[in-house]
Chains A and B, each alone.
Chain A
């Protein structure tokens, strides 16, 4: 019995150490989560502004006034397109770009497998093959997965900061938008986990390029009619020139927003995963302690029996 006692003791101490580590990791993730949430609030100010300007432009000038020439054939669909500018025109889709945002490391519960599984489903449902899909992988897990399956990973990036600042991701985001100009892809989807709350996240696949009224946001367009005052802007230098500036900025901010959102939910799932790991460790420890006490007790009982037995024999 002695060896087993020793064994159980060792297991208890090792599980305790693991528990300490996972507990610390949980605290780190929680801290990061609250940091990034604060940062996200300030980003939303910017995103809302840029979106409202775009909606204004679309509302007051473009949607009713200028309808692009090629919309004549299918007027209803192409009304979404507000200008002949590059990012607004739908091209024939030869390649579909998919940005997959995953984490670099594990220990985040079902976070990565969720994104990857649903992305694969999306690809399958849309009928894309490995030839006409261009994967842009942000995060190592996604990059490895799609490379192994023979997809064309046009760009991969590892090591996005835990709290990504726009300045850090600007190069990256510019590069992704630039690939649209180079015709590496003709439409762009961004697949990521949207942060709902600490326990849940929800997979999202959003089409970001070409920009259409759909991804500017339907709710904004419908809400506009309630607003009593929608100003007609004086444009300086011209509407097209402004769109030229605003649209890339908008696309960049959308992708940055997705990265932020994904990172937020990564921290959340990491924190949840670490919490359940800590809880599990606690369970194991308590059952091991029970086992340890039982073993100790039975060792004592045996000893007493031996002693009393010996005593009886002497008498």
Chain B
């Protein structure tokens, strides 16, 4: 396998491929911390947090494109990084009003679950809150 100077980042969801670009660096937030992947990284498999995937825009020094992903995992081999997640959105596709509403809803649910000591709902509300906050953060970048 020849040495390459770029890697391809591909983000797929059940509703189709959301993102496919070449880059020189991609940064993933895994469940145990941030991982930066450069071309010719060894094969990697990592579970992701509900957070952003940062992909360096080709040809720039320090500009990154952020894509919101809702968990899932990343698989890297042969210079192709594939993020497999239940949902993912590029910055320009995020509906910030909808995310804001989702955040409010999740917060309300969280407060209610805390009062009622409903562990199950609490956990679920936390996850949806994280998803909404993640979307909002990225859309405000």
Contact = CB atoms under 8 A, between A and B. Distances in A.
B73 interface: yes
A39 B35 CA distance: 32
B27 to A, nearest CB: 13
Contact of A236 (B13, B14, B45, B71): B45
Given A43-B15, A43-B16, A242-B47, A237 B77 contact: no
Interface of B: 1, 12-17, 30-32, 35, 42-47, 71-73, 75, 77-78, 82, 84, 86-87
A42 to B, nearest CB: 3
A50 interface: yes
Interface residues of A, number: 32
B47 A46 contact: no
Q: Give the residue among B17, B30, B45 with the most A Cβ atoms within 10 A.
A: B45
A31 to B, nearest CB: 19
Interface of A: 39, 42-43, 45-47, 49-50, 53, 56-57, 165-167, 170, 229, 231-237, 241-242, 244-246, 249, 252-253, 256
B77 A46 contact: no
B98 to A, nearest CB: 12
B72 A167 contact: no
Given A237-B30, A246-B73, A249-B72, A46 B84 contact: yes
B16 A45 contact: yes
23 contacts: A42-B15, A42-B17, A46-B12, A46-B84, A56-B45, A57-B45, A166-B86, A233-B45, A233-B75, A234-B44, A234-B45, A235-B45, A235-B46, A236-B30, A236-B35, A236-B44, A237-B30, A237-B31, A237-B32, A237-B47, A242-B47, A242-B73, A249-B84
Given A235-B45, A236-B32, A53 B75 contact: yes
A245 B14 contact: no
B84 A49 contact: yes
B15 A45 contact: no
Contact of A50 (B32, B35, B43, B84): B84
A256 B14 contact: yes
A18 B63 CA distance: 61
A167 B102 CA distance: 14
A253 B42 CA distance: 27
Given A234-B42, A242-B47, 10 more contacts: A43-B16, A45-B12, A46-B84, A165-B15, A167-B15, A229-B1, A231-B42, A231-B77, A241-B31, A252-B86
A50 B77 CA distance: 14
B43 A231 contact: yes
A229 B43 CA distance: 11
Contacts of A166: 13-15, 86-87
